[in-house]
């Protein structure tokens, strides 16, 4: 089945639209809780099913269900592997870790009954599209994976002061493929607020106030967009620990890398029982680094990932994502 991609080309992998009070309004067939995708099949939501091999559409009434399977692009449309657990008379559920998916895409999927019948979702559901499987036109769900989700303890807090008469304020950006409906901000006193958990990386975003797009007036970091206006810029970093085991007799160990322009003095590592460590907030992406042990440059002996830097040097590599 052809993979449905977003109309916006974003920066990332990924990861992940996550469930929120807004998502329930638009998506059906699944929800995302923290780092878990929860597929949910309720027999009462369906009235038709399609025989996979013949394409014949039949009524769902009085159908004897032996098993339900989640089948989609993420598991090569398998009819057997992702079996759901029956949790009540009418409901089936399957929980999968977010790492089982490649993000930055909208995945198409269906529910299969007894390994051979495709359950037909309602055309009224907004995350339904038509796709072709083995020559048959089928209604499929879209599992939208973004790099952000609402969380009270998230690492990115958005706040827009004023606009007390506005009916709805949305934050949209490259972290959710500029979705105009998903992340609804909460009205708090004289401002609108929303806190998200976002993967490390640099993102662009804007507020939508009752349909009107605008930059964040309290964020001086911005980039001009294709409409000759500005998108606000947010750089999410993650605290990353570098460890050098051994070398306990060394007098001084320094961490140097692409993240500090290979400075030989700034990041003096702390001595520990096992060796040396240093913690630094890093943006998402690839970072080259080395240790300087009493003036001698070395790669990380406990990191097998190394790359040439184009100047004949070999550096250790740390990925932040």
Q: What is the CATH number of the domain that holds 169?
A: 2.60.40.10
179 is a domain residue: yes
Is the pLDDT score of 289 beyond 50?
yes
* 75/78 Cα distance (integer angstroms): 6
Question: What's residue 98's pLDDT?
Answer: 74
Least confidently predicted of 71-85, 95-109, 209-223: 95-109
End residue of a domain, out of 121, 144, 167: 144
51 is a domain residue: yes
3 is a domain residue: no
- Do 132 and 88 share a structural domain? yes
- Do 169 and 137 share a structural domain? no
Work out the percent of the chain whose per-residue pLDDT is above 70.
81
Hey, how many other C-beta atoms are within 10 angstroms of the C-beta on 129? 13
Helix (H) or strand (E) holding 244: strand 230-245
- For residues 183-201, one letter each, b for 16 or more C-beta atoms within 10 angstroms of the residue's C-beta and e for the rest, the string is bbbeeeeeebbbbbbbbbb
- Do 131 and 27 share a structural domain? yes
Question: What's residue 124's pLDDT?
Answer: 61
226 is a domain residue: no
End residue of a domain, out of 144, 175, 191: 144
- Do 115 and 32 share a structural domain? yes
- Do 197 and 175 share a structural domain? yes
**pTM score:** 0.58
232 is a domain residue: no
Is the pLDDT score of 275 beyond 90?
yes
Is the pLDDT score of 17 beyond 60?
no
Residues 218-235 have pLDDT tens digits of: 999 999 999 999 999 999
Is the pLDDT score of 97 beyond 80?
yes
Question: What's residue 11's pLDDT?
Answer: 27
Residues 65-83 have pLDDT tens digits of: 889 999 888 888 888 889 9
- Do 140 and 97 share a structural domain? yes
- Do 138 and 27 share a structural domain? yes
**Mean pLDDT computed over 270-289:** 95
Question: What's residue 199's pLDDT?
Answer: 85
CA distances from 120 to 25, 111, 139, 207, 291 (A): 20, 8, 6, 36, 58
9 is a domain residue: no
Q: Retrieve residue 309's tokens.
A: 């830097």
**Mean pLDDT computed over 32-59:** 79
16 is a domain residue: no
* 5/163 Cα distance (integer angstroms): 34
- Do 140 and 52 share a structural domain? yes
* 85/259 Cα distance (integer angstroms): 46
- Do 123 and 28 share a structural domain? yes
Instruction: Tell the residue number behind the tokens 């007036």, with chain if given.
Output: 217
Is the pLDDT score of 51 beyond 70?
yes
Tell me how many domains the chain contains.
3
184 is a domain residue: yes
Range of the domain at 282: 238-320
- Do 212 and 264 share a structural domain? no
End residue of a domain, out of 144, 170, 198: 144
Which stretches of the chain are DSSP H helices? none
Question: What's residue 141's pLDDT?
Answer: 73
Residues 153-186 have pLDDT tens digits of: 889 999 999 999 999 999 999 988 888 888 999 9
- Do 258 and 203 share a structural domain? no
Torsion region of 201: left, alpha or beta (phi above 0 gives left; psi -120 to 50 gives alpha) = left
pLDDT band at 259 (very low <50, low <70, confident <90, very high): very high
Work out the percent of the chain whose per-residue pLDDT is above 90.
49
Residues 311-320 have pLDDT tens digits of: 888 999 999 8
Q: Retrieve residue 303's tokens.
A: 């990191």
Instruction: Tell the residue number behind the tokens 């309720």, with chain if given.
Output: 42
- Do 297 and 207 share a structural domain? no
Q: Are 90 and 43 in contact (CB under 8 A)?
A: yes
């Amino acid at each position: 089945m052809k993979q449905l991609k977003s109309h916006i080309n974003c920066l990332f992998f990924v990861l992940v639209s996550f469930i929120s009070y807004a998502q329930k309004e638009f998506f059906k067939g699944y929800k995302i809780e923290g780092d878990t995708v929860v597929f949910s099949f309720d027999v009462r939501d369906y009235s038709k099913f399609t025989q996979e091999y013949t394409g014949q559409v039949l009524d769902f009434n009085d159908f004897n269900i032996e098993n339900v399977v989640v089948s989609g692009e993420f598991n090569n449309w398998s009819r057997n592997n992702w079996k759901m657990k029956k949790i009540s008379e009418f409901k089936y559920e399957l929980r999968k870790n977010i790492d089982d998916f490649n993000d930055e895409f909208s995945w198409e999927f269906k529910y299969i009954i007894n390994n051979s019948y495709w359950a037909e979702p309602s055309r009224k559901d907004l995350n339904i599209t038509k796709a072709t499987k083995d020559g048959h036109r089928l209604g499929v769900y879209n599992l939208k994976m973004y790099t952000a989700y609402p969380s009270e303890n998230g690492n990115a807090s958005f706040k827009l002061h004023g606009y007390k008469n506005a009916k709805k304020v949305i934050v949209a950006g490259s972290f959710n493929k500029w979705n105009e409906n998903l992340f609804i901000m909460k009205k708090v006193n004289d401002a609108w607020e929303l806190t998200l958990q976002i993967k490390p990386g640099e993102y662009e975003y804007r507020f939508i106030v009752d349909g009107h797009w605008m930059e964040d007036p309290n964020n001086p970091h911005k980039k001009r967009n294709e409409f000759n206006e500005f998108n606000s810029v947010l750089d999410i970093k993650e605290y990353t620990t570098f460890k050098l085991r051994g070398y306990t007799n060394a007098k001084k160990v320094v961490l140097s890398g692409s993240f500090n322009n290979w400075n030989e003095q700034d990041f003096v590592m702390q001595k520990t029982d096992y060796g040396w460590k240093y913690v630094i907030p890093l943006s998402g992406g690839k970072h080259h680094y080395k240790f300087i042990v009493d003036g001698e440059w070395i790669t990380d002996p406990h990191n097998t990932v190394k790359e040439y830097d184009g100047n004949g040097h070999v550096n250790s590599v740390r990925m932040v994502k």
